[in-house]
């Protein structure tokens, strides 16, 4: 390795990480990545039924998912972090932060199991776990690189010579997270996440068209077919290469789901699934029945039918012979 590169890395570690107290965060970041890579390699070897590797952990007939070990590891290391934060022992906190990162990786790797409440690890829904890990890695990496939420707001306020007060901070935070919420409601999750650190991206995401399946499109574009059509065309044109690249990376890192034969077919299936107009919000009749409940719902006709009277032939008991 060149000497200048080693010197730059040493200076960065000393001044930007250790002196600023970010060593635990860096170790957490490394633990998160290493834990995710190790567990994904492990489950892929188990899936391939390799003889020299471990098998699934079971207790009797019950398969124990690795999210259980992640919860235990995260709770125990989190308690240790709280305890050692009192005296500020950075070495001990760094070790515990690394364990916390490994536990977080085990949990996020089965995020889809928590979200869908069923085992979807090797299905299309299981890709949500990979997305969750990507979000956690991206957010932690941006903080390590020196990005902070609201930093650009504070720089702009200093340029405008606005006094830095608590009220100004609260207003800036409120505006920032309000814009981020609008962008996320438009279906642009990554733009909203990165925009928390760089607010100009939030302005761009807020001004551009929403994705056609987003809640914003459902609320605002149903009565504007022109905007909905433009959103669908734009989604298919711009999202195809992005979805294809995303699925390729997900398959490369996490393994290919059972239901998707290859990347191109998966891309087209995903586009056919998600690129469509958002349905109109359901309408409820304002008329009320005698009981105070809403009427005019889909099954009202069936619910209002009188129940047939039970006859002797319909009884579930045998008829009793009368005594002479």
Question: Per-residue pLDDT averaged across 249-264, rounded?
Answer: 67
Q: What is the mean pLDDT of residues 162-171?
A: 78
Is 80 exceeded by the pLDDT of residue 192? yes
Buried b or exposed e, range 56-76, using 16+ CB within 10 angstroms: eeeeeeeeebbbebbeebbee
84-93, 151-160, 173-182: the lowest-pLDDT one = 151-160
Q: pLDDT-based confidence at 264, cuts 50/70/90?
A: low
Q: Where is pLDDT greater, at 306 or 69?
A: 69
Q: Are 92 and 25 in contact (CB under 8 A)?
A: no
Burial class (CB in 10 A: 0-12, 13-18, 19+), 266: buried
Q: How far is CA 228 from CA 59, 65, 210, 213, 216, in A?
A: 52, 42, 9, 10, 11
Question: What share of the chain has pLDDT > 90, as a percent?
Answer: 23
Question: Closest by alpha carbon to 105, among 138, 130, 141, 84?
Answer: 130
Residues 246, 274: Cα–Cα separation, whole Å: 15
pLDDT at 89 over 60: yes
HSE on the CB side for 232, CA within 13 Å? 16
Res 293 pLDDT > 50: no
pLDDT of 98 strictly over 90: yes
Provide the pLDDT confidence category of residue 195 given band limits of 50, 70 and 90.
confident
Listed in order, strand segments (DSSP E) in the chain are 58-59, 62-63
Identify whether the C-beta of residue 97 lies closer than 8 Å to the C-beta of residue 81.
yes
How far does the chain reach from its first CA to its final CA, in angstroms? 111
Q: Would the pLDDT of 90 be above 70? A: yes
Least confident of 109-118, 158-167, 169-178, 261-270: 261-270
pLDDT at residue 86 in the model: 81
- Per-residue pLDDT, averaged over 269-284, amounts to 70
Quote the pLDDT of residue 287.
54
Q: How far is CA 123 from CA 40, 128, 261, 266, in A?
A: 15, 10, 12, 12
Report yes or no on whether pTM surpasses 0.85.
Answer: no
Tell me the mean pLDDT in the region 115-134. Answer: 86
Closest CA to 105 of 34, 16, 182, 176: 34
| pLDDT of res. 172 | 81
Whether the predicted pLDDT of 298 surpasses 60: no
pLDDT of 299 over the 70 cut: no
For the chain, state the CA radius of gyration.
28
Alpha-carbon gap, residue 135 to 190, rounded angstroms:
8
Question: Predicted confidence band at 269 (pLDDT cuts at 50, 70, 90)?
Answer: confident
C-beta separation of 27 from 140 below 8 A: no
- The encoded tokens of residue 268 equal 């087209």
What integer is the mean pLDDT of 113-131? 86
CA 184, 190, 196, 199 torsion: positive or negative? negative
Rounded-to-integer distance, Cα 127 and Cα 255, Å: 10
Residue-level pLDDT at 303: 47
CB–CB of 186/235 below 8 Å? no
More confident residue, 168 or 280: 168
The arithmetic mean of pLDDT across residues 200-228, rounded, is: 88
- The full length of the chain comes to 324
């Amino acid at each position: 390795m060149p000497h200048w590169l080693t010197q730059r890395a040493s200076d960065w570690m000393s001044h930007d990480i250790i002196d600023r107290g970010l060593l635990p965060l860096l170790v957490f970041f490394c633990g998160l990545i290493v834990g995710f890579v190790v567990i994904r390699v492990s489950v892929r070897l188990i899936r391939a039924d390799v003889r020299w590797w471990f098998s699934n952990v079971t207790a009797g007939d019950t398969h124990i998912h690795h999210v259980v070990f992640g919860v235990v590891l995260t709770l125990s290391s989190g308690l240790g972090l709280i305890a050692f934060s009192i005296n500020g022992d950075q070495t001990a906190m760094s070790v515990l932060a690394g364990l916390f990162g490994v536990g977080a990786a085990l949990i996020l790797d089965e995020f889809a199991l928590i979200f869908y409440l069923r085992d979807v690890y090797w299905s299309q829904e299981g890709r949500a776990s990979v997305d969750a890990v990507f979000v956690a890695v991206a957010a932690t990496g941006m903080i390590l690189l020196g990005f902070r939420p609201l930093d650009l707001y504070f720089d702009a306020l200093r340029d405008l010579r606005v006094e830095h007060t608590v009220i100004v901070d609260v207003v800036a935070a409120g505006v920032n997270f309000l814009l981020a919420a609008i962008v996320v409601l438009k279906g642009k999750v990554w733009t909203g996440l990165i925009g928390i650190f760089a607010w100009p991206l939030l302005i761009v995401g807020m001004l551009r068209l929403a994705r056609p399946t987003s809640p914003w499109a459902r609320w605002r574009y149903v009565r504007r077919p022109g905007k909905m059509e433009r959103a669908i065309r734009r989604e298919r044109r711009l999202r195809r290469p992005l979805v294809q690249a995303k699925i390729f990376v997900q398959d490369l890192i996490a393994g290919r789901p059972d239901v998707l034969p290859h990347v191109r077919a998966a891309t087209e299936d995903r586009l056919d699934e998600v690129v469509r107009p958002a349905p109109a919000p359901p309408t409820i009749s304002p008329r009320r029945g005698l009981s105070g409940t809403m009427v005019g719902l889909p099954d009202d006709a069936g619910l209002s039918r009188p129940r047939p009277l039970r006859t002797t032939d319909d009884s579930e008991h045998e008829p009793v012979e009368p005594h002479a």
